Structure 1
Amino acid sequence: MVFGVREFQLALMHRMRDLNPERVAEALDAMGATRAELRASHARWTRTLHAPRGPKGVALVRRALGPAPYRGVRPAGSLRCEVLRWPLPAFPGLEFEVLLGPGGEMWNQWFVRPGAPAALTFDDLVPWTCVVADVGESFPGAVQMEGPAPQHWTVDLDHGGSRHRARFVYGLLQRLDPGPPGPA
């Protein structure tokens, strides 16, 4: 059984299902995929990820997605990091990005918008349409932090006198919740 783009997308969606099961169910229908296929893709990805002799880091991503159509360099403080990106059919207008440290180790993996972040209004915060950078750029004072599980992020932002928490998986917005008490 080949583990390619379709299976990689399903493995990502398995983690997204934690926060947005309805949107994942819609995506499965659009792909003609089943929940069993979603679970099988996740299980295979996890087994491969933890296999003692299997590929690690970006080699594993390349094995599933092939060579990156986009390769670039990004500064991170005084370091220069390699950036690789792949478009994925289930996530139009976005690309899956891997950031590699100077030694080639994978530092981050998430969805990004190619080019400049989108300028969003509060009403534009719709699941699966925006990424962490879009929200950070569009809402001054937004605070980014790691989420409660691997590949989860949160961004706290103020709007309309209330605090809100945008929750992301692999950098892709999954839902918007009332935020914790704080400045509004």
Structure 2
Amino acid sequence: MRFGIRQFELTLMHRMRDLNAAKVEDALTEMGVSRAQLRAAHTQWTRMAHSPRGPKGLAGMRRVLGPPSYEGVRPAGSLICEVARWRLPSWPELEFEVLAGPGGEVWNQWFVRPGDGEGVVLGFEELVPWRCVVADVGASFAGAVQGEGGAPQHWVAEFVHEGRKYRARFVYGLYQRLDKNLENL
């Protein structure tokens, strides 16, 4: 079976199940996909990623996703990294961005807003799973602090709203859920 965009989306959803299993189940139902197919896509992706023969890094992403909708460069300290973005059918308002180092190795991959990738200002009630990205929380809540989450491809943004502390949780930069009323952030 050829690994393409649909299987890649399932691979992303496999990791998203860590934080938002109900949303993933809804998406699988809409797509007409079983949990077994989700696991099979993840297994195939893992096999491809660790195969000594297949293309790696940005070349591997292009092989799976086709030509990016955007390509450019971005400084990262004293280095210049390649930027490539793809639109994925399950998240039509966002783009999946890959930052690659000088040798094509992937440094980061996550969802961003199209265009310059800057976040949009949202109201608290507009924090809706699978519709917001890390940059949105940073743009929307002054003093938001971003950091790595507890698993690969997890990210957090901690902020205060109306005197209460919150932790927004993301997978591949895509908002999954909000932990509320935290005492010690």
- Please say whether Structure 1 and Structure 2 have the same fold, judged by a TM-score greater than 0.5: yes
Contact 2:80 2:101 in 1 (8 A): yes
2-structure distance, mates of 1:179, 1:58: 40
2-structure distance, mates of 1:77, 1:123: 36
Equivalent residue of 1:47, what SS? helix
2-structure distance, mates of 1:48, 1:76: 28
Residue 179 of structure 2 is aligned with which of 148, 172, 177? Answer: 177
Query: Normalising to structure 2: TM-score of the pair?
Result: 0.94
2-structure distance, mates of 1:80, 1:52: 27
Deviation at 1:102, TM superposition (A): 2.8
1-structure distance, mates of 2:104, 2:50: 19
Query: Normalising to structure 1: TM-score of the pair?
Result: 0.94
Q: How does 1:138-177 map to 2 (within 5 A)?
A: 138-177=140-179
| % identity of equivalent residues | 65
Deviation at 1:180, TM superposition (A): 4.2
Contact 1:101 1:107 in 2 (8 A): yes
Contact 1:80 1:101 in 2 (8 A): yes
Tell me which residue corresponds to 1:105: 105
Q: What is the aligned length?
A: 183
Tell me which residue corresponds to 1:90: 90
Deviations 1:123-150 (A, max 9, x none): 1111001000111111110000001000
What residue identity is the alignment partner of 1:13? M
2-structure distance, mates of 1:113, 1:167: 17
Equivalent residue of 1:18, what SS? helix
Q: Unpaired segments of 5 or more residues in structure 2?
A: none
Deviations 1:96-119 (A, max 9, x none): 100012332211000101134211
Tell me which residue corresponds to 1:33: 33
